[in-house]
């Protein structure tokens, strides 16, 4: 029983972090209809930024997450503005190809610059374990979970309540109508990409805080983001949070009770099962149902 | 004072030319009707004015500036509101959020002012726009367009899919809108309604202006009566 609770709590904490990674992927998909295959590489870029800041100045990875978020916001904005905006109305095949290429370049680049060795950002507190009832949780994971949930809630509030957030949602729903309000769609798209990259980058710093990372992990983060986004319902931000938690827990259970190689297969089994029962995802409200494709 | 001046406008889609040298003017505070058969190019003309369709020849001047070729956002910021065919509300957002977005260009937040023109919307502010009735949707779309306090509002197919009483209600607000200093360019299938609410009218036929003049005069013109003013029993 304790091992079950232990696995479940571990899964929830990991799931929060996965949700923070996936939410930006889901946002970009929902608003721009772009499946950004380089999203996972953004996570690792954030991890390396935090690692370097920690190595150079001993900057705590929680502050490193803020720095990584800011840098990656700029990077995400610039990539969208200069590259992806050019093909955003093209067939989805083209954006897939472009972002897949970008992912390859980034992963190769990171392997060259940082080597393919596993790294982690060591802190005095990350592996201190806190007893909660019968289970013990590492404080680093608990902190990362707290930050991830906070970031998600802040994002949703920002999107729903602020002028800029509404403008992004509106552009996602009907790009031409948004432009008729005077909204600059290219800027709105770039902001969306920047926000997604910022969350991915900040989450990367947290990945480094709670475990190890190396460049090839990028593909896994992209894949998990994809699964979580579909689980949660396309573009649905709270759905992505829920999807992340579910996936984290299921993977933890699989890790506990099944041979190691089954973990990814189980993730996809869950995806297929959910889609059969609820085709529009766990949260079940297709926010972009009424989206009008740009003409 | 001339607010909008379209001179010799030629525009279309790709190699297909839809407008062949259109001339049209709107003065400040005026209500102008633009009518014509399906496919005549009315929507294309509005889309050209708001910068969504590029002009291949001719000029569009607005409030003293040449806006030919300007992107949509900048045309909107200069004071043109375009209520598109089919309304195009942000269906998943509330009425209030739709109105807030309407004020994007000028940071206009005065929702009460537009609710004064369309009182039924006041009770619907927290309702998701996609669930409004057709008439409420059209009110919301026009109200959204007014949030920037435009100098000109262009309304495409006001009556589309609406019951006649609802259309009358909405059309009755047009003079109030004009009285606040916002000129109205109304595209309308229902030629009778369009000509009764407007001061002047334009009849567009396959991309050129076939008739123009004071609306009262157009209504009694026998050619227009024959082609556009449905007699009882004709349907529409
Ligand atoms: N996006 C487009 N691409 C190519 N051709 C178009 C496009 N939109 C309209 N057209 C063509 O341009 C012509 C004029 O269309 P437009 O929509 O301007 O007419 P309209 O007067 O508004 O008609 P309606 O009363 O049916 O709304 C039509 O022949 C139409 O097929
Ligand atoms: Mg039309």
Secondary structure percentages of chain B, helix, strand, coil, to 5: 35, 30, 35
What is A32-49 written as a DSSP string? H----TTHHHHHHHHHHH
Distance B140 CA to ligand 1 centre (A): 25
Residue A26's closest CA among A187, A270, A247? A247
Contacts of B73 (CB under 8 A, 6+ apart): A179, A182, A183, A184, B105
pLDDT of residue A294: 35
Residues of chain B with CATH 3.40.50.300: 2-79+150-229
Distance B119 CA to ligand 2 centre (A): 28
The fold adopted by the segment(s) B2-79+150-229 is: Rossmann fold (3.40.50)
Of B73, B76, B91, the CB nearest to A173: B91
Contacts of A50 (CB under 8 A, 6+ apart): A59, A61, A64, A65, A67, A68, A121, A204, A205, A208, A209
Q: Which residues of A touch B (CB under 8 A)?
A: 163, 166-167, 169-170, 173-174, 176-184, 287-290, 292
As a whole number of Å, the end-to-end CA separation of chain A is 57
pLDDT of residue A232: 84
How many other CB atoms sit within 10 Å of the CB of residue A200?
33
- Could A167 and B130 be called an inter-chain contact, meaning their C-beta atoms sit closer than 8 Å? no
Lowest mean pLDDT among A51-55, A81-85, A87-91, B47-51: A87-91
Q: Mind listing the pLDDT tens digit of every residue in chain B (236 residues)?
A: 899 999 999 999 999 999 999 999 999 999 999 999 999 999 999 999 999 999 999 999 999 999 999 999 999 999 999 999 999 999 989 999 999 999 999 998 889 999 999 999 999 999 999 999 999 999 999 999 999 999 999 999 999 989 999 999 999 999 999 999 999 999 998 999 999 999 999 999 999 999 999 999 998 888 888 887 765 544 44
Q: Specify whether the CB–CB gap between A171 and A189 falls below 8 A.
A: yes
Residue with CA closest to ligand 1 atom 3? B13
Q: Specify whether the CB–CB gap between B201 and B194 falls below 8 A.
A: yes
Q: Is A105 helix (H, G, I), strand (E, B) or coil?
A: helix
Residue B108's closest CA among B148, B145, B78, B142? B148
For chain A, give the mean pLDDT: 89
State how far the Cα of B27 lies from the Cα of B152, in Å rounded to an integer: 9
pLDDT of residue A86: 86
Of B76, B91, B100, the CB nearest to A290: B91
pLDDT, one tens digit per residue, over A249-268 is: 998 988 888 887 787 788 78
Residue B188's closest CA among B218, B210, B159, B162? B159
- Could B77 and A176 be called an inter-chain contact, meaning their C-beta atoms sit closer than 8 Å? no
Q: Using CB atoms within 10 Å of the CB of residue B94, give its burial: 0 to 12 exposed, 13 to 18 middle, 19+ buried.
A: middle
Q: Considering chain A, what percentage of its residues have pLDDT values greater than 70?
A: 95
State how far the Cα of B24 lies from the Cα of B216, in Å rounded to an integer: 18
Q: Give A270's pLDDT tier (boundaries 50, 70, 90).
A: confident
Ligand 1 near B13 CB (within 6 A): yes
Find the angle CA(A13)-CA(A18)-CA(A20) to the nearest 5 degrees.
100
Residue B25's closest CA among B230, B213, B177? B213
CA–CA distances in Å: residue A167 to residues A91, A212, A257, B134, B137: 24, 38, 46, 24, 19
Residue A43's closest CA among A210, A222, A165? A222
State how far the Cα of A188 lies from the Cα of A172, in Å rounded to an integer: 9
Pairing of strands B16-27, B31-36: unpaired
pLDDT, one tens digit per residue, over A125-174 is: 888 888 887 788 888 889 889 998 999 899 989 998 999 999 999 999 99
Q: Answer whether residue A215 shows pLDDT above 80.
A: yes
Q: Give A269's pLDDT tier (boundaries 50, 70, 90).
A: confident
Q: Specify whether the CB–CB gap between A263 and A220 falls below 8 A.
A: no
pLDDT of residue A168: 95
pLDDT of residue B224: 83
Looking at residue B127, the DSSP 8-state letter turns out to be S
CA–CA distances in Å: residue B141 to residues A163, A194, A249: 18, 31, 45
pLDDT of residue B230: 62
Min Cα separation A30/chain B (Å): 13
pLDDT of residue A283: 65
Among A177, A180, A288, A294, the strongest candidate for a mutation testing the B interface, having the largest count of B CBs within 10 A, is A180
Among B14, B72, B111, the strongest candidate for a mutation testing the A interface, having the largest count of A CBs within 10 A, is B72
State how far the Cα of A270 lies from the Cα of A65, in Å rounded to an integer: 31
Q: Give A287's pLDDT tier (boundaries 50, 70, 90).
A: very low
Q: Specify whether the CB–CB gap between B204 and B40 falls below 8 A.
A: yes
Ligand 1 near B42 CB (within 6 A): yes
pLDDT of residue B109: 86
Instruction: Identify any residues that bridge with B9 across adjacent strands, giving them in sequence order.
Output: B22
pLDDT, one tens digit per residue, over A54-72 is: 999 999 999 999 999 999 9
Distance A190 CA to ligand 1 centre (A): 31
φ/ψ of residue B153, rounded to 5:
-120, 130
Q: Give A272's pLDDT tier (boundaries 50, 70, 90).
A: confident
- Could B93 and A166 be called an inter-chain contact, meaning their C-beta atoms sit closer than 8 Å? yes
Residue A171's closest CA among A186, A193, A150? A186
Radius of gyration of chain A from its Cα atoms, rounded to whole angstroms: 19
Ligand 1 near B16 CB (within 6 A): yes
H-only helix segments in B123-163 = 134-146
Ligand 1 near B40 CB (within 6 A): yes
- Could B92 and A173 be called an inter-chain contact, meaning their C-beta atoms sit closer than 8 Å? yes
State how far the Cα of A264 lies from the Cα of B5, in Å rounded to an integer: 64
As a whole number of Å, the end-to-end CA separation of chain B is 36
Mean pLDDT, range A69-80, rounded to an integer: 97
Write out chain A residues lying below 8 Å of B89, CB-based: 177
């Amino acid at each position: 029983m304790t091992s079950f609770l232990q696995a479940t709590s571990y899964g929830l904490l990991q799931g929060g972090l996965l949700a923070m990674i996936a939410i930006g992927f889901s946002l970009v998909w929902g608003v721009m209809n772009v499946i950004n295959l380089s999203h996972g590489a953004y996570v690792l870029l954030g991890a390396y930024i935090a690692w370097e800041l920690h190595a150079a100045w001993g900057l705590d990875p929680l502050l490193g997450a803020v720095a990584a978020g800011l840098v990656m916001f700029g990077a995400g904005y610039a990539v969208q503005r200069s590259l992806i905006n050019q093909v955003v109305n093209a067939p989805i095949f083209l954006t897939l190809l472009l972002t897949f290429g970008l992912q390859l370049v980034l992963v190769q680049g990171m392997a060259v610059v940082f080597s393919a060795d596993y790294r982690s950002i060591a802190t005095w507190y990350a592996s201190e374990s806190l007893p909660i009832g019968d289970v013990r949780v590492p404080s680093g994971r608990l902190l990362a979970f707290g930050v991830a949930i906070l970031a998600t809630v802040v994002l949703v509030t920002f999107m729903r309540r602020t002028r800029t957030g509404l403008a992004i949602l509106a552009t996602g729903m009907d790009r031409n109508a948004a432009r008729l309000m005077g909204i600059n769609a290219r800027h709105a798209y770039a902001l969306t990409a920047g926000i997604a990259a910022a969350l991915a980058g900040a989450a990367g710093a947290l990945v480094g805080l709670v475990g190890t990372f190396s460049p090839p992990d990028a593909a896994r983060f992209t894949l998990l983001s994809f699964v979580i986004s579909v689980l949660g319902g396309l573009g649905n931000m709270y759905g992505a949070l829920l999807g992340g938690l579910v996936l984290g827990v299921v993977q933890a259970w699989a890790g506990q009770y099944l041979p190691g190689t089954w973990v990814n297969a189980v993730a996809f089994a869950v995806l297929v099962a959910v889609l059969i029962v609820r085709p529009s995802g766990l949260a079940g409200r297709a926010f972009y149902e009424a989206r009008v494709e740009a003409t | 004072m001339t607010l909008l001046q379209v001179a010799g406008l030629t525009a279309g889609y790709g190699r297909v030319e839809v407008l062949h040298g259109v001339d049209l003017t709107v003065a400040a505070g005026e209500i102008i009707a633009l009518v014509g058969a399906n496919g005549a190019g009315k929507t294309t003309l509005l889309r050209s004015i708001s910068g969504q369709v590029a002009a291949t020849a001719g000029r569009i001047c607005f409030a003293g500036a040449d806006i030919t070729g300007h992107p949509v956002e900048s045309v909107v910021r200069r004071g043109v509101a375009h209520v598109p065919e089919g309304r195009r509300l942000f269906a998943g957002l509330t009425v209030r959020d739709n109105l807030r977005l309407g004020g994007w260009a000028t940071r206009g937040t005065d929702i009460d002012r537009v609710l004064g023109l369309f009182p039924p919307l006041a009770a619907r502010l927290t309702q998701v726009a996609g669930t409004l009735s057709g008439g409420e949707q059209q009110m919301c779309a026009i109200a959204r367009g007014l949030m920037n306090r435009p100098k000109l509002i262009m309304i495409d197919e006001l009556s589309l899919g609406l019951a006649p009483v609802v259309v009358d209600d909405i059309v009755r607000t047009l003079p109030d809108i004009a009285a606040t200093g916002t000129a109205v360019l109304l595209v309308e299938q229902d030629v009778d309604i369009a000509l009764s609410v407007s001061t002047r009218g334009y009849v567009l036929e396959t991309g050129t202006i076939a008739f123009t003049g004071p609306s009262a005069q157009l209504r009694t013109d026998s050619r227009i009566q024959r082609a556009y003013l449905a007699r009882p029993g004709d349907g529409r």
